Amino acid sequence: MDHSIPLSLYLLFSLPLSLLLFLLVRSSRHRGLRLPPGSLSFPLVGETLQLISAYKSQNPEPFIDNRVARFGQVFTTHVFGEPTVFSADADTNRFILQNEGKLFESSYPSSISNLVGRHSLLLMKGSLHRRMHSLTTSFANFAIIKDHLLGDLDRLVRLNLDGWTGRVLLMDEAKKITFEFTVKQLMSLDPCEWTENLRKEYILLIEGFFTIPSPLFSNTYRRAIHARRKVAEALKLVVRDRRRESERGERKKDMLEALLEDEGRGGDGFSDEEIVDFLLALLVAGYETTSTTMTLAVKFLTETPLALAQLKEEHDAIRAKKGESETLQWNDYKSMPFTQSVVNETLRLGSIISGVFRRAIMDVDVKGYTIPKGWKVFASLRAVHLDHDNFKDARSFDPWRWQNNSGSTDLLNLFTPFGGGPRRCPGAELARAELSVFLHHLVTRFSWVPAEEDKLVFFPTTRTQKGYPIIVQRRDMSRTL
């Protein structure tokens, strides 16, 4: 006789018991603490399905808007298997970001941490993170952009746009530009078949970020793991070649050279594995978000003809002082005030990084409430950027707001597209330069119309659903020179 319990009978008894245990734990574990108001909803699942449903729509804002209206700007929910405190408040977000390593620590899904590698900047903590963050910033600051990177950026944008004709899938083209430039910046490698093959593997790798982190249950994750191995092998060969070059006294001014010369964790230098993880994650950071922002900038400008006309006027004036094929110089880049307004507004409205997850490493008091130790928090940068109390007509594309409020401390305090605190994006200024140079060559060389209707989607990341296809036509430059 089979003495095993039938599945239906097991579920009949175990699910009510699980629910009872969940309710008991929820009511007793944090008794005496004043938790932020909100709803944990159903056991285990919580409000995850509502969150995903909202972000799969064209308008994800109601998930946070409705809870802010009901509970306030700091509220409790339960998503992705854990109780989580959401913040739509600028002061609270700043507090969370600035207390990284003191009250909070970074926390990422295992699908992401497994794919970027344990030696990536994303997962580093403490003094090592501070040192490597500083090193990364030193290769993307104003001085190195001016003296070293602007020329490479200008050349790579031109090279890619030279081949544009007819129908162009803008998102794909933007990704080629940002990937090739990041490879050049990190490893001094020019575009070739090797870089394009590497980029194709990166596409598969990144697709695995927001999947079930198990090769058994997710084909996407299995492909991502395989792609990760191929990327790591390719980067390891580059690292080994460069080590041999360094031993011969050959030096290049790039991130890889700095890593090879660094003393590393214990004074013996970084291992190949550590350098590969570090480079792999930086390629992700320099590739995905900037290319998406480029695409959104073009979409928003196309939908706002007055802004596009003013942008063309600014760049035509710059190009009129130069030969048609003359490279942009630093003084040209600093002569783009309206462009910077367009960049700011795209970053604000697009909010590619919608927010950041952290985990409380102790009980933390915020706004009269207590976030229990071990709970996750989500600082929603997007919610602050799209709050009508912070920005007038917050959900409209209005680059002129940055001219009318130029230098406003209040405005800048609300504007955090690159995060903040010790983990603020080290490539923030470089991303601005990439957007500006791309827009310069786009508007001076082409006019365009959308090839078909496209819309924004927000899950698992912000992007256009179809990659924003456009029909381009070359401008007659003689009329602007």
Output the 3-class SS for 197-213: HHHHHHHHHHHCCCCCC
Q: Which two tokens stand for residue 330?
A: 């630093």
- CA–CA separation, 157 and 297 (whole Å): 16
Q: Which two tokens stand for residue 302?
A: 């196309």
The continuous run of DSSP H or E covering 457 comes out as strand 456-457
- As to burial, measured by CB atoms within 10 angstroms (0-12 exposed, 13-18 middle, 19+ buried), residue 162 is exposed
Contact (Cβ atoms closer than 8 angstroms) between residue 316 and residue 336? no
Beta strands in 110-209, from DSSP E residues, in sequence order:
166-169
Between the CA of residue 296 and those of 170, 171, 229, 292, 460, what are the distances in Å?
A: 10, 9, 31, 6, 16
Query: What are the pLDDT tens digits along the chain (481 aa)?
Result: 444 433 333 334 434 544 544 555 555 556 678 999 998 877 777 888 888 888 888 888 999 999 999 999 999 999 888 899 999 999 999 999 999 999 999 988 888 889 999 999 999 999 999 999 999 999 999 999 999 999 999 999 999 999 999 999 999 999 999 999 999 999 999 999 999 999 999 999 998 887 878 877 789 999 999 999 999 999 999 999 999 998 898 989 899 999 998 865 555 689 999 999 999 999 998 888 999 999 999 999 999 999 999 999 999 999 999 987 899 999 999 999 999 999 999 999 998 889 999 999 999 999 999 999 999 999 999 999 999 999 999 999 999 999 976 555 577 789 999 999 999 999 999 999 999 999 999 999 999 999 999 999 888 788 899 999 999 999 986 655 5
Contact residues for 229 (Cβ-Cβ < 8 A; gap 6+): none
Write down the pLDDT at residue 481: 53
Write down the pLDDT at residue 264: 58
Contact (Cβ atoms closer than 8 angstroms) between residue 88 and residue 387? yes
Q: For the CA atoms of the chain, what is the radius of gyration?
A: 24
Task: Please state the length of the chain.
Answer: 481
Q: Among residues 100, 8, 78, 39, which one has the least CA distance to residue 364? A: 100
Q: Among residues 475, 477, 154, which one has the least CA distance to residue 333? A: 154
Contact (Cβ atoms closer than 8 angstroms) between residue 339 and residue 436? yes
Which 3 state secondary structure label does DSSP give 450? strand
- CA–CA separation, 290 and 114 (whole Å): 23
For β-strands 82-87 and 376-380, DSSP reports them as: parallel
Partner residues linked to 83 by β-bridges: 78
Q: Among residues 393, 419, 383, 412, which one has the least CA distance to residue 72? A: 383
Domains of the chain, earliest start first? 32-474 (1.10.630.10)
Contact (Cβ atoms closer than 8 angstroms) between residue 407 and residue 386? no
Write down the pLDDT at residue 109: 81
Between the CA of residue 360 and those of 43, 121, 192, 464, what are the distances in Å?
A: 21, 20, 45, 34
Contact (Cβ atoms closer than 8 angstroms) between residue 398 and residue 310? no
Partner residues linked to 46 by β-bridges: 42
Binding residue positions: 425
Contact (Cβ atoms closer than 8 angstroms) between residue 170 and residue 438? no
- CA–CA separation, 300 and 344 (whole Å): 12
- CA–CA separation, 65 and 88 (whole Å): 9
Q: Which two tokens stand for residue 424?
A: 């603020």
- CA–CA separation, 374 and 352 (whole Å): 27
- CA–CA separation, 174 and 340 (whole Å): 19
| Locus of tokens 């600014």 | 314
Write down the pLDDT at residue 407: 52
Q: Among residues 284, 277, 295, 255, which one has the least CA distance to residue 179? A: 284
Q: Which two tokens stand for residue 94?
A: 């700043």
What count of other Cβ atoms lies within 10 Å of the Cβ of residue 253?
Answer: 11
Which 3 state secondary structure label does DSSP give 476? coil
Binding residue positions for heme: 425
Q: Among residues 444, 452, 350, 415, which one has the least CA distance to residue 154? A: 444
